[in-house]
Amino acid sequence: MKRILLVGNGAREHAIADALARSPQKPELYCFMKAKNPGMAKMSAKFKLAKLDDFDALGEFVKEVRPDFAIIGPEDPLNAGVVDFLQTLGVRSVGPVKDLARLETSKTFTRELLEKYRIPANIKFRKFISTEGIKDFIEAELGDGFVVKPDGLTGGKGVMVSGEHLKDSDEAVEYCRKVLETHPSVIVEEKIEGEEFSLQCISDGRTIKATPPVQDHKRLLPGDQGPNTGGMGSYSYTNHLLQFLTKEDVLEAEKIVQMTCDAIRKETGKEYKGIMYGGFMLTKDGPKLLEYNARFGDPEVMNVLPILKTDFVSVCEAVINGTLSEIELHFENKATVCKYVVPEGYPSNPVAGQKIELDEANRRALIFHASIDQKDDGLYMTTSRAIGFVGVADDIAEAEKIAESAIKAVKGPVFHREDIGTPELLDRRVKHMEAVRGES
Ligand code: GLY
């Protein structure tokens, strides 16, 4: 029986655990978690609670459970070098070594890689290590449309966009000054118009395989209003495209990820084994890269792994053994809608430690636990996204209804975005893309 170590304890890792547990190989799961995810704890042969970068605790757990391989869920342990550490213990991982996790942790590394290897998805950008020259660059090269990105991890909340968060180049310089107090550099890049989509690809260092494209919703409030969050929900379509996205667009994005995988190998001499999640903007000139993440998306993984028909344990082994070219990924032709419930006041002032109650009505949807604490008398929210509810159905309208009706039955001081996956919002996306392409 295969023994698999899973690092992380959010809804993303719960969805990974669920995909592993569906394997006909019936692996034993060993979870290394910062907090007890109730769903994952139930599936574990054994779990250990410790900080995810506590390598002493991880080392002891590894010696005890002797895993055949590991899967790393979140970006922070990748950034801390968990894959390199596990290698010293003879454990191979689905997840890149620290140097290659720069694909996510250093926006500069990625933009410069794309530039050097002429990967046709880059946009106009410049890296700054001081505020000198920022105002001139914006005014001379970018005009009114610019984006500022800290060079490092920010939990998806550090990106500031002109017209939304920043009024003009002076405000951009001020924001950069603040960023440079805690980050080595900052990237200023052009703002591009279009519709965003996530293409989560699996890489063995030579071959990449794409999962169906998904669209996430970063803004807190209906109609894409309010502050950015980690992602309030996401959807995917039965035909593995999105309404505004053609097969050619998806193949182009896949080509870009494959070229990036090859470029990393040429640049560093190392093979990228793990998830290459391309965050793309579909523009009138095709897909352009916004950023890469070195792990599955949260919530986007909840759209793709539940419909994966291929044995996920075999997929992970192919990543580690470099044999991904020999297997096909098959997905059910189902639509999915994921909606997160979050504590009232999230993200700036969340109510903490409040009870959340589920009953049978919630089980119409798949349930993935995120920032949830299990106590003797029930489930309590911490301060972040609490539970992802996923509807899976033959069409997106039905998937949306499943997620919505399950979430409406939750009891507690919670909030969610009712509009995700609804016909009105989907239609708006299509109309927006038509306008961007100059078709309306
Ligand atoms: N949903 C965005 C992310 O996982 O980074």
Q: What is the pTM of this model?
A: 0.96
Question: Which atom number of ligand 1 is nearest to the Cα of residue 300?
Answer: 1
Residue matched to tokens 């033959």:
394
Computed over every residue of the chain, the mean pLDDT equals 96
* pLDDT of res. 156: 67
427's CB contacts (< 8 A; 6+ apart) are: none
Task: Copy the structure tokens of residue 341.
Answer: 């419930």
* Cα 103 to averaged position of ligand 1 atoms, centre (Å): 14
**Ligand 1 mutation target, pool 216, 218, 281, most atoms within 8 A of CB:** 216
- Chain centre distance of CA 383: 19
Q: Which atom of ligand 1 is nearest to the CA of 297?
A: 4
**DSSP one-letter string for 124-168:** -EEEESSSTTHHHHIIIIITT-EEEEESS--TT---EEBTTTB-S
DSSP state of 357: B
Q: Give the mean pLDDT of 296-323.
A: 98
DSSP calls for 247-282 = HHHHHHHHHHHHHHHHHHHHHHS---EEEEEEEEEE
- Of all protein residues, whose CA lies closest to atom 3 belonging to ligand 1? 297
Is residue 289 over pLDDT 80? yes
Mean pLDDT of 416-431: 97
- 334-352 as b/e: b if 16+ CB within 10 A: bbbbbbbbbbeebbeebee
Secondary structure of residue 175 in the 3-state scheme:
helix
CA of 135 from ligand 1 middle (Å) equals: 30
Radius of gyration (C-alpha) of the chain in whole angstroms:
21
Q: Which atom of ligand 1 is nearest to the CA of 216?
A: 1
- How does residue 380 score in pLDDT terms, banded at 50, 70 and 90? very high
Determine the pLDDT at residue 363. 85
User: Which residue is it, tokens 């798949």?
Assistant: 366
Q: For ligand 1, what atom is nearest to the CA of residue 231?
A: 1
Q: What is the DSSP letter of 431?
A: H
Q: Ligand 1 centre and the CA of 301: distance in Å?
A: 9
Q: Does the Cβ of 231 fall within 6 Å of ligand 1?
A: yes
| Cα 342 from Cα 381, distance rounded (Å) | 8
Does 227 or 431 have the greater pLDDT score?
A: 431
Rounded CA-CA distance 128/185 in Å is 6
Cα 18 to ligand 1 centre (Å): 19
Q: Specify the residue with its C-alpha closest to ligand 1, atom 5.
A: 297
Q: Are 213 and 242 in contact (CB under 8 A)?
A: yes
339 CA → ligand 1 middle, Å: 14
Atom of ligand 1 at shortest distance to CA of 293?
5
